[in-house]
Amino acid sequence: MKLFNLLVAILFITQIGSGLLGNLFLLCYYISALLSGHRLRPIDTIFVNLAFANLKVLLSKGLPQTMFFLGMKNFLDPFCCNLIHYLQHLSRSVSLSTTCLLSGFQVIAISASNSRWSELKAQATKYIVHSCLFCWCFYLLINLTMLGIMHNSRFKSNNTRWWHLGYCSVAAPASFNTTFYGIIFSLPDFICMAFMIWASVYLIFLLHRHHQRVKHIHNLHISPGYFPEIRATHAILLLVCTYVSFYSIDSILSFSVFQFGKYESFLLPIAQFMTTCFPTISPFILISYDSQGHRNWRNLWSKKSSQ
């Protein structure tokens, strides 16, 4: 085994292990809260959905790549390879759409002082679970359609194009237009990205205006970093900036790898690493900035300790 491959494998193991611990902690916390009779906030449903999608990204994307760098090459048969490739795209898109949903819901929640927005918040709260399910169903259909087009008999020919991922190879007819279908099926992701950025900018504006109005009631000795609205702004900015940054770099690198066939270059492991960065970091961002979650966790822990 080459030293470079060993170092990359250790890096992936560290990243995946940290991400799994963070997301499993979130899921275990919310499950424990439910079993203990605590009532979860509506936004907690989005957190659970995001943590579950992140786990799927880490397992479907990071685990096969780690095994490849540990020396296990092409260990997946064609069916399992297509299945893993399908799960990778599905979980990545659901993670993006859930982050988009989180941004939109927080805009509605912060704007609820207006009567029109308060009615919308009441409706949005009712349909959070439905929205999360819609994200899964929508991208299930999108990715199944993409998979069906790639293997449609209309595209079949003697010339086959292979994408070598290291742990397996994905095949498609040479007539399959990667760029065209990639752009078409990435449109929902781009729309989510645009909405997420707009929602975050609008939320920052609302929080800044609210902060100016109620500034006089805050204790002047408290650091601005402890204002609830400032903490919320930081959390949203970190989530959005983290996703946009890693998603953009990953998309550019993945396009270069698949379009120009540079599978043996250093671009492929970097692209794979960028894909799993957000699922690794996001649970720790949520844990760090969720002050109400901290209080609930302390109450839950104190109750268990007293029993």
Residue 247 pLDDT exceeds 80: yes
Say which amino acid occupies 157: S
Q: What value does the mean pLDDT take over residues 245-257?
A: 80
Range among 20-24, 84-88, 219-223, 237-241 with highest mean pLDDT value: 20-24
More confident residue, 211 or 292: 211
Looking at domain 3-298, which of 3.40.1080.10, 1.10.1040.10, 3.50.50.60, 1.20.1070.10 is its CATH number? 1.20.1070.10
Residue 268 is encoded by which pair of tokens? 């492929």
Query: Between the CA of residue 68 and those of 61, 92, 100, 168, 267, what are the distances in Å?
Result: 11, 20, 32, 9, 15
CA angle 140, 145, 146 (to 5 degrees): 100
Helix (H) or strand (E) holding 171: strand 169-173
Cα–Cα distances (Å) from 179 to 69, 81, 142, 154, 258, in that order, read 28, 21, 16, 18, 10
267 touches 165 (CB < 8 A): no
Q: Which of 54-68, 218-232, 233-247 has the lowest mean pLDDT?
A: 218-232
**Who wins on pLDDT, 78 or 160?**
78
Looking at residue 153, its pLDDT comes to 47
Question: Mean of the pLDDT values across residues 147-172?
Answer: 66
Which pLDDT tens digit goes with each residue over 164-187?
777 887 776 666 666 777 777 788
- List pLDDT tens digits, range 269-285: 788 888 899 999 999 98
What's the longest Cα–Cα distance across the chain? 74
Cα-based distances in Å from 38 to 23, 49, 121, 297? 20, 18, 22, 10
Predicted TM-score (pTM) of this structure: 0.84
Give 172's strand partners. 161
pLDDT of residue 50: 93
Whether residue 62 has pLDDT greater than 90: no
Structure tokens at 119: 């009615």
- DSSP strand pairing (169-173 vs 160-164): antiparallel
pLDDT at 290: 67
Residues counted in the chain:
307
Q: What 3-state class would DSSP assign to 162?
A: strand
